[in-house]
Chain A
Amino acid sequence: AQSVTQLDSQVPVFEEAPVELRCNYSSSVSVYLFWYVQYPNQGLQLLLKYLSGSTLVESINGFEAEFNKSQTSFHLRKPSVHISDTAEYFCAVTPSNTGGFKTIFGAGTRLFVKA
């Protein structure tokens, strides 16, 4: 069975510091990988995705994630965070043999950026 593990439930960090949110997955088939962001009492928004090709993917607001097949990881990084990055971040995985209908989510990592 597939699973997604986000290794940190909460990550406090000072403004302008770098941050890494860790995500590992388990799957017997190839997968598509996603990071979503959720602000309080709102829905989730797609932050970035890996479908194929270059293993390093970037978002428009400075986040990046790297797909590491051998380590089955898809960690999210940002070199310098802002107060506005405070949110909950979800890693998600869709097995390639499910037609897109069985996306699995991690438990989430709450990023708290301090001034």
Chain B
Amino acid sequence: DGGITQSPKYLFRKEGQNVTLSCEQNLNHDAMYWYRQDPGQGLRLIYYSQIVNDFQKGDIAEGYSVSREKKESFPLTVTSAQKNPTAFYLCASTHPRTGGSGELFFGEGSRLTVL
């Protein structure tokens, strides 16, 4: 079945450590996104990528980095510079035909807890 796979589902890290969240899709979608979800705040855009080797900052990019070396993959690194990294992270993509409307397909999410 086609879809978006995020891993790991749960992750714990110590302060000062970088961590990379994986996002892989087999939907043949061009555009991919990373969102951060905090209780009571909805979703906020971290980074998005329209095509391979191109990505743009979203509203809360500070302390995060991404790469897009393959169409299928869009990993997110949470760096030690991110002051409050504990959150639920969601990867998403848009279909080429409906992407202009912003209709999003989501992965299952990764919950990061900083100890």
Contact = CB atoms under 8 A, between A and B. Distances in A.
A45 interface: yes
Interface string A31-44: 01010100001111
Interface in A60-115: 90, 92, 94, 98-103, 105-108
B102 interface: yes
Given A34-B103, A49-B103, A92-B102, A101 B111 contact: no
A59 interface: no
B90 A100 contact: no
Nearest to B10: A41
Contacts of A103: 45, 102, 104
A9 interface: yes
B104 A107 contact: no
Interface string B34-71: 00000011111100101000001000000000000000
Interface in B1-53: 4, 6, 9, 31, 40-45, 48, 50
Question: Which size bracket describes the interface of A in this complex?
Answer: 20 to 34
A46 interface: yes
A5 to B, nearest CB: 10
A46 B103 contact: yes
A34 B98 CA distance: 13
27 contacts: A9-B40, A32-B102, A34-B102, A34-B103, A36-B104, A41-B9, A43-B4, A43-B90, A44-B90, A44-B104, A44-B106, A46-B104, A49-B101, A49-B103, A92-B104, A94-B101, A94-B102, A98-B102, A99-B100, A100-B99, A101-B48, A101-B102, A102-B102, A103-B45, A105-B42, A107-B41, A108-B40
